[in-house]
Amino acid sequence: MTNEHLYPHFHPDEHRFVDKAAEWVARAEQHDVKLTDFLDPRQAYILTTLVQRSADVHVRFEGGHPDAERRRALVAPDYRVLDGEDMGIRLLSVESPDEKLGQLDHGDYMGAILGLGIKREKIGDIHVRPDGCHVVAASEVADFIRLHLSQVHRVQVRTELLPLDQLRIVQTRLEEMSFTVASMRLDGIAGDVWRLSRAKVLVPIKAGRCKVNWKQTEDPSHPLRQGDVVSLQGFGRFKLMEVEGTTKKGRIRVKIGKYV
């Protein structure tokens, strides 16, 4: 069965995932059950869209807490009750008496975990605190990480498994900034956020290293809207929190929140 009729609705780089998600739905229609890896919000949206096209399939998402960004999905026939199903999620706690622990950030922990050979898709949200870190992970890799994660960016750490209900959620912190722009173009706003010239911000965008709401875009002129989340590989991400109005000179004042 071809999925080419679905492709026009999604970015070309998403077609491979569309194929996978369509296969999960098709198998569920044949009474199969699929527990996915952790999906980002865009992938969850694609899967939900395909599930809604079938009258015989439903899906449950779980990421360890109600506001989780990355979540596993359970795709199943609609007659199957999913509330009591094991979603294959474990909680890892990373701690250390080393005072340098408080200097570690999300990237440090992620880099250490991926350095063990773990795929990104097996890791959910990472909650970093000054006194340690809680990592939501797929149950099939949790024990391996517990046994082998002993160092994060030169800091010796101890990793243990905890019950999922002990997850200490860290709310995302945004560093707010306001400035004016000539238009709502992606390249203009992204350039101002990261203090890049237009020439320098065009390179990663056109190279496919930019996502708006977790959807890849290579169009520098893509218009941003309030609430959009933009990520640029190698630079981080920001949220367009508010369009505050227009100045007397016709420029648009925006409020941005940089993820820190």
Using pLDDT thresholds of 50, 70 and 90, give the confidence band for residue 2. low
Amino acid letter, 127: H
Q: What is the pLDDT of residues 205-223, one digit of tens each?
A: 999 999 999 989 999 999 9
Please give the mean pLDDT across all residues of the chain: 94
Is a pLDDT exceeding 60 seen at residue 180?
A: yes
Query: What percent of the chain has pLDDT above 70?
Result: 99
Which of 3.10.290.10, 1.10.3720.10, 3.40.50.1970, 1.10.10.60 would CATH assign to domain 174-259? Answer: 3.10.290.10
Output the pTM of the full model. Answer: 0.83
Query: What percent of the chain has pLDDT above 90?
Result: 87
Q: What is the pLDDT of residues 55-72, one digit of tens each?
A: 999 999 999 999 999 999
Average pLDDT over residues 6-27: 89
Q: What is the pLDDT of residues 135-166, one digit of tens each?
A: 999 999 999 999 999 999 999 999 999 999 99
Is a pLDDT exceeding 80 seen at residue 1?
A: no
Q: What is the pLDDT of residue 11?
A: 77
Q: What is the pLDDT of residue 260?
A: 77
The CATH architecture of the domain made up of 89-166 is 2-Layer Sandwich (3.30)
CATH class, domain 7-77, is alpha beta
- Domain residue ranges of the chain, discontinuous segments joined by +: 7-77, 89-166, 174-259
9 vs 65, higher pLDDT: 65
